[in-house]
Chains A and B, each alone.
Chain A
């Protein structure tokens, strides 16, 4: 799951290095890899790829800070 998220972020969002270099604990929000539009892209990706629904209440920074936190959000739903 982590790798799927990593590949998506590296290809579709503001990451300028090879996907392998995007660590699971890299601060995505702090370093502006994920911005307001990026959040919407990631939600679409999560919902399509993992067949889960992201609730509006879950749209908080804690769930999107790193690849780890995004993965935890998805795992909690499966």
Chain B
């Protein structure tokens, strides 16, 4: 019985041991090889002191080794914590390592420039998973274990006492008060969602599944574990291919990809610059997207040009994995938004009005989610957890806690939810969720920043561009401020534009007048 994520790998290694599990550029490995490498990593981690219930960080570019690392960590009974390899080591990565009590980090030799900026104290050991010249790998602060040492470790495996309710991974997302927050997800949380994916997408071992989203993004979950569930092959999309639309088309066609999952902006760019023709990418069976609203006019064009796959919109905050979906039946009306649809299997959803009533169909309210995909809370933050994971807000008898998404929705006549916006300052850009407050906190961290306000500017391709208004006490070049932010925020949170002003407009109560600033943008 598969009740842990790594059981999927073990089962596929037994049943489909010789099938290719992961393709990473011109390298690949079979299910048997992936299972064996993950066993060696697990055994090394246990020797190094990792115990059930611990957290182990993953700080390297997506690769075959990184995938083996995730399984290796879970096989020890610990949870993995993927850290954006492009996030600055000295601030965000360090924050996550300290916040999540991480003592061991899986990394790669190409990340070695970042190592000196990692925090000593908690962190003890770096496990370097790629094959490299061992002589170069030495670090003054940390113990370093190399791949050649890992390759000498015993590949047999002893299961631990972990159960489905235990944590499989912790994903850090943007936090409104300035620090990222760790969403705790269990094996059961992920498996409940992946079961729906396997079933609803009718995955088989003959599928060729792409993995475009990065590992620290929850959109990587169905790719990774859906493929492992059925013994299909996972094709990792490299960072260069990810930037160029025409490379994506070639990637899909050359690898005969059958299932593609990415944020809509990638697909919009593919449409505009990918040189698509009628019937391009004939192998595609499923084209699915999430993370932001897909502009209907682009989706319509894409569906007309590439009519053969099923188009499926998925919706869900990281806290719920995915909770609703909408299968787009035909090229949509370019003037109507794509609905987020209805609940996936074994997930309950309802809409609560501002005065805590159950919303009628057509009435706007906050979407509330319950079920086995809902997170176990925020790491080390019971207060924040208590604000979003709550008892039945309608005062009923629901036996479990439910998750308040903060997303405003209403049900349309067809019984599908429509997404209307947020209750707070959270925005989406390139599919990432971003708390504007976190960017403002970073700006205020600079001694010369007197006032600032960060605003979203709606954009067809990437949902929102980020604009920062800043008033200074003194002289500061824009590039210096950009550099300061780059050391503190991941690339996707950096303002696209920084505008200096003498001072920012105020409301009658003395607060920064965001409406006036918004009006300034639209002029």
Residues of A within 8 A of B (CB): 10-11, 14-19, 29, 32, 34-37, 39-40, 56-57, 59-61
Contacts and interface: CB of A to CB of B under 8 A. Distances in A.
B152 interface: no
A16 B245 contact: no
A12 to B, nearest CB: 9
Interface stretch (B236-244, B297-305, B343-351): B236-244
Contact of A36 (B243, B477, B486): B243
Contacts, number: 61
Interface residues of B, number: 29
Given A17-B483, A37-B462, A56 B242 contact: no
B162 interface: no
Contacts of A14: 482, 486, 491, 494
B86 interface: yes
A57 B247 CA distance: 10
B243 A61 contact: yes
B491 A35 contact: yes
B479 A17 contact: yes
Closest 9 CB pairs of A and B: A16-B483, A56-B275, A16-B482, A36-B243, A61-B240, A59-B246, A16-B486, A59-B244, A56-B273
Contacts of B461: 37, 40
B164 interface: no
Interface of B: 86, 239-240, 242-247, 265-266, 269, 273-275, 430, 461-462, 477-480, 482-484, 486, 491, 494, 496
Contacts of B86: 32
30 contacts: A11-B478, A14-B491, A14-B494, A15-B482, A16-B479, A16-B482, A16-B484, A17-B479, A18-B477, A18-B479, A19-B479, A29-B239, A35-B491, A36-B242, A36-B244, A36-B269, A36-B430, A37-B461, A37-B462, A37-B496, A39-B244, A40-B269, A56-B274, A56-B275, A57-B275, A59-B244, A59-B245, A60-B247, A61-B244, A61-B247
A10 B246 contact: no
Q: Counting chain B CB atoms within 10 Å of each CB, which of A15, A36, A56, A60 scores highest?
A: A36
A10 to B, nearest CB: 7
Residue picked from A16, A57, A59, A61, most chain B C-beta under 10 Å = A16
A35 B430 CA distance: 11
B243 A35 contact: yes
Contacts of A32: 86, 491
